[in-house]
């Protein structure tokens, strides 16, 4: 629809983050056995049928976001390191006297 309207966007605009795809799979994969093809007759859901047919057959969906190779973005790694640092800093530090006592006991 965007191409027909003359709106050209970067391919990055249409790619989903890995986390979004993981959440989709974790939340909806357990529903595979309870859904039927007739559940997708609604106009708004019919595009999802090609995804679910593959999941019912235990195949990889032939949808671009599931076929693309994924690697973590550098920003994701930075966020993860920042979180790890916050966890390390949240450890309760003993008062100065106890630290000195421990240091003298170790030597």
pLDDT digits (tens, 9 = 90+) for 60-78: 777 766 666 666 666 656 6
In this predicted structure, what is the pLDDT of residue 49? 77
In this predicted structure, what is the pLDDT of residue 7? 80
In this predicted structure, what is the pLDDT of residue 98? 59
Spatial separation of the C-alpha atoms in residues 90 and 31, rounded to whole Å? 39
Contact, 18 vs 72, CB < 8 A?
A: yes
Per-residue pLDDT tens over the stretch 25-59: 788 778 878 888 888 777 777 777 777 788 788 88
What is the DSSP-derived secondary structure letter of residue 48?
A: G
Which of 9, 24, 13, 17 lies closest to 73, judged by CA?
Answer: 17
**Would you kindly state where each structural domain of the chain is located, as residue ranges?**
11-106
The H helix count followed by the E strand count for the chain is: 5, 0
**Is the pTM above the cut of 0.75?**
no
């Amino acid at each position: 629809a965007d191409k027909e309207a003359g709106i050209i966007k970067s391919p990055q605009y249409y790619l989903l983050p890995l986390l979004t795809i993981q959440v989709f799979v974790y939340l909806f994969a357990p529903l595979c056995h309870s859904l039927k093809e007739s559940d997708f007759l609604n106009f708004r859901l019919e595009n999802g049928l090609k995804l679910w047919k593959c999941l019912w057959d235990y195949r990889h969906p032939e949808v671009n976001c599931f076929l693309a190779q994924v690697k973590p973005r550098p920003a994701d790694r930075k966020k993860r390191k920042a979180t790890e640092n916050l966890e390390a800093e949240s450890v309760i530090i003993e008062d100065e006297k106890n630290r000195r006592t421990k240091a003298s006991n170790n030597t």
